[in-house]
Amino acid sequence: MAKGFRGQLSSSLGLKPEEEVIPVNEVNANKPEKPVLPVSTSKPVKEEKPETSTKLTVEVRKELYDMLEREAFWEHLSMKKMVDEILTERYKGRDLKPIPEHKRPTKRGPAKGTNRK
């Protein structure tokens, strides 16, 4: 006579025929439920950069970029930190006159008198 799933399971677990196998959902019913934490649907708040920093994009020669990248790697620093250290060292103790307001470079925009936005 062929055994059913429970019969095969009981014999493979070494249970006697009179012992009952407890279904998994009944075993889990005795465990206390874990509290469900509320999920936030709002977007994470971005950390604001301090006003003392400014983003700058510059074009540099390939060999200088490679040297900067390699030194940053071996010094275990970011390239941002390396550039900061280089510029800090360059301008340490220097007193430069401010740029006159009428000579100050401005961000590029549409030419005056055009309708482009």
In total, how many domains does the chain have?
1
Give the domain extent around 79.
59-92
Does residue 74 lie within any of the structural domains? yes
Residue 105 lies in a domain: no
Report yes or no: 68 and 83 within 8 Å, Cβ to Cβ: yes
Q: Examine residue 47 and state whether it is found in any structural domain, yes or no.
A: no
pTM for the model stands at 0.45
User: CA 12 to CA 22: how far, in whole Å?
Assistant: 15
> pLDDT digits over 80-113, tens only?
999 999 999 999 999 999 888 888 777 654 444 4
Residue 76 lies in a domain: yes
Q: Tell whether 81 is covered by a domain.
A: yes
pLDDT tens digits for 35-89? 776 776 666 666 666 678 888 899 999 999 999 999 999 999 999 999 999 999 9
Residue 32 lies in a domain: no
